[in-house]
Amino acid sequence: MSRRLARRVVAYGAVIGLTACSSSTPVAPLATGPWWKGVAEVDRRAHPGPGVTVKIPIGVGDDTFTPRVIRVDVGSEVTWTNQGASVHNILKAVTTQNFGQQFGIDTLNTAGTYNFTFASPGVYRYYCSLHGNEDSGMVGMILVGGTASP
């Protein structure tokens, strides 16, 4: 580091120190918005016909639905498989949303599976109440058909 650069760094540090207590200090905005913004969408469409099973393993120890966001064809069956050691559940993130039929499972034990067939296009969000809430933590989303991500 050159002497001039070193001086500049020291000066910058001093400015930070002086302004840290000021109410006018600019603060970098926190990441805001829904969790699925920027999350990779895994496209599982173009499988032949309805009834295709899409595996969603639940990560060992990290309590996540993997992948978090997948897109499937209308009529696709999705299978959640608990590959972890913990018990999980699968609940609607929006309780009033119509999934077409009863959705979810209260207890998904280790090695257990849960199947659901998505018969209508739409955006279907879900979560595990043991390791998250409707909007963060152990959450997932199924995009059915060509419906745009929200």
Asked if residues 24 and 48 have their Cβ atoms less than 8 Å apart, the reply is no
Cα separation of 106 and 46, whole Å? 31
Cα separation of 63 and 79, whole Å? 17
Residue 64 binds Cu ion, judged by CB under 5 A:
no
Nearest residue (CB) to Cu ion, 59 versus 121: 59
Calculate Rg over the CA atoms of the chain.
Answer: 22
Nearest residue (CB) to Cu ion, 71 versus 131: 131
Least Å distance, CB 10 to Cu ion, is 49
**Among 36, 52, 54, 88, which residue sits at the site for Cu ion (rule: CB under 5 A)?**
88
Which residues from 120-149 bind Cu ion, rule CB under 5 A? 128, 130-131, 138
Give the angle subtended at the CA of 96 by the CAs of 94 and 102, to the nearest 5°: 95
Nearest residue (CB) to Cu ion, 117 versus 129: 129
Which residues are at the interface with Cu ion (CB under 5 A)? Answer: 88, 128, 130-131, 138
